[in-house]
């Protein structure tokens, strides 16, 4: 079964703080249980998204890296 992302954001080139802010805004448009994929290039985004998910209660299901791109999968709670 394929994973369905209800929103995909390519935030490469943005600082980690801006990436989290854009992701938080986009996640507000989703309903509980829906998934969002975020791509970022700032290495600081790894700790920023982890802290943000802990603080908001949204589930960070995946945090991975392929080359210089960081991928985050978030479920809205």
- Whole-number pLDDT of residue 46: 98
Q: Is the pLDDT of residue 1 over 90?
A: no
Residue 15 lies in a domain: yes
Residue 2 lies in a domain: no
- CATH number of the domain bearing residue 41: 3.30.110.40
Q: Report residue 14 as tokens.
A: 């943005």
Give the tens place of pLDDT for each residue, 29-38: 999 999 999 9
Question: What contacts 19, CB < 8 A, 6 or more positions away?
Answer: 11, 38, 40, 42, 45, 48, 49
DSSP 31: P
Domain that holds residue 45: 7-75
pTM of the predicted protein model: 0.95
Relative to beta strand 35-40, strand 69-75 is: antiparallel
Match 């982890």 to its residue by tokens: 50
């Amino acid at each position: 079964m394929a994973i369905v992302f209800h929103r995909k954001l390519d935030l490469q080139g943005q600082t980690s703080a801006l990436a989290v802010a854009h992701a938080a805004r986009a996640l507000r448009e989703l309903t509980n249980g829906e998934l969002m994929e975020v791509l970022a290039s700032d290495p600081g985004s790894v700790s920023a998204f982890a802290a943000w998910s802990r603080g908001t209660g949204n589930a960070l299901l995946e945090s991975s890296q392929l080359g210089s791109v960081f991928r985050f999968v978030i479920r809205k709670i």
